[in-house]
Structure 1
Amino acid sequence: MLKRFVPWIALVAGVAMLTFVVALYATPGLLMRAAVGRLADRGGVNRMAHAPLATAEARTIVRPSPDLAYSSCPFDLADGAVTVTVMPVDAPYWSLSVYDSQTDAVFVRNDREMRGEPVRIAIARQGQTIPAGYVPVWVDGRRGVALLRILVPNAAAFPGIDAARKASSCQVATPS
């Protein structure tokens, strides 16, 4: 009797394993595609958008920290490399992270590493030209997100931090 069910059990187990593997490999790309789309709705692609301080209702992607100011650049490398410049901000801490199309963090720098110097990177795929003066950040996929996070120690400090972070930029690289 049990022999009749062995092929069915094997089939169900095989389909379950195949579904698991497909979900495991497809999920990061789907999540990043959704994140880039939601961020692009706020400020466009290949442009730095500066979000207001988070509230309990703020849920563009994940639960934001209320003591961080977020600026984001959803990028698309279809038209060439994208340059990101982050000017130092007078805050207790700030960092720039770049996430590729599979949600992997491919670049991270913070204020302590930069020691008062700006971050100047060019996000690109192999074969794309990097402008002079920019550190290359190579990615495999075409789309992703550059995310600037700045610690806001108190509400009174936010206007100054907000003005300073708006000096940061993100754009398609112009040929040198």
Structure 2
Amino acid sequence: MARLLYAVLVGLVGAGIVHIAIVFLIPFYSERDSWALVSEAGPPYLVHRLDRAGPAGKALANADPMFEVAACRFDLEDGSVHLFSPGHVPYWSLSVFDRRGQNVFSLSERTATGGILDVVVAKPLQLIELRKAMPANYENAVFVETDISEGMVILRSFVPDPSWRQTVERHISAARCETGAG
């Protein structure tokens, strides 16, 4: 009976120590979330290439090395966001995340019109206003309706071999993330 009481006491003390350690580590890890890493890359409404040697290196440590990654932060309180890049690459994918890093929407060149990166992210009321007076440059865009305020877009482009690197880098360099009307 004494051994059982001793084991329970040691277990409770150990659980308490682990709990306290976790509570003290929360601030360290919460400040290093994906939003903070993308924020360090630069200001909102600009497409920033996320370099493995830069601030986002920790987040990209396990990413496929055959993909180039770029990000753009936005705030839908400023209006809708239009993301576009001309040209074709072997494969690209785009994901919209909220500020907490939850995936809101994803698409790839296979589901985009003509394989061209052309996406508009907007709140429901902004989307209604856009459809009333559709800008000419939105005619082939994929519309993403979301209730988030702040968010980020992650663009991944595939580099199948070194001969494609320059084309992919041009595609990412030409990518634009602009606040729109509404």
**Does TM, scored on the shorter chain, surpass 0.5?**
yes
Query: Could you tell me which residue of structure 2 aligns to residue 71 of structure 1?
Result: 70
After superposition, the CA RMSD in angstroms is 3.1
Quote the offset at 1:58 in angstroms: 2.0
Summarize the alignment of residues 70-89 of structure 1 with structure 2, pairs less than 5 Å apart. 70-89=69-88
Determine the C-alpha separation between the residues in 2 that align with 1:117 and 1:139: 23
Determine the C-alpha separation between the residues in 2 that align with 1:31 and 1:102: 10
**Equivalent residue letter for 1:48:** V
Determine the C-alpha separation between the residues in 1 that align with 2:70 and 2:153: 8
Query: Higher Cα Rg: structure 1 or 2?
Result: 2
Query: Could you tell me which residue of structure 1 aligns to residue 150 of structure 2?
Result: 143
Q: Deviations over 1:45-96 (max 9, x none)?
A: 12211234x46x92246632211100111121221111111334322x2111
Question: Structure 1 regions of 5+ residues with no counterpart?
Answer: 1-29
Aligned pairs, number: 145
Shift in alpha-carbon separation, 1:114–1:138, aligned structure 2, 3 A: closer
Give percent identity, aligned residues only. Answer: 23
TM-score by length of 2: 0.64
Quote the offset at 1:104 in angstroms: 3.5
1:167 aligns with 2:167: no
Between 1:160-169 and 1:65-74, the stretch displaced more is 160-169
Question: Structure 2 regions of 5+ residues with no counterpart?
Answer: 1-28
Check the 8 A contact 1:89/1:165 in 2, yes or no.
no
Determine the C-alpha separation between the residues in 2 that align with 1:37 and 1:119: 25
| Displaced runs of 4 or more, over 6 A | 30-33
1:118 aligns with 2:125: no
Q: In proportion to residue count, which structure has more helix?
A: 2
TM-score by length of 1: 0.66
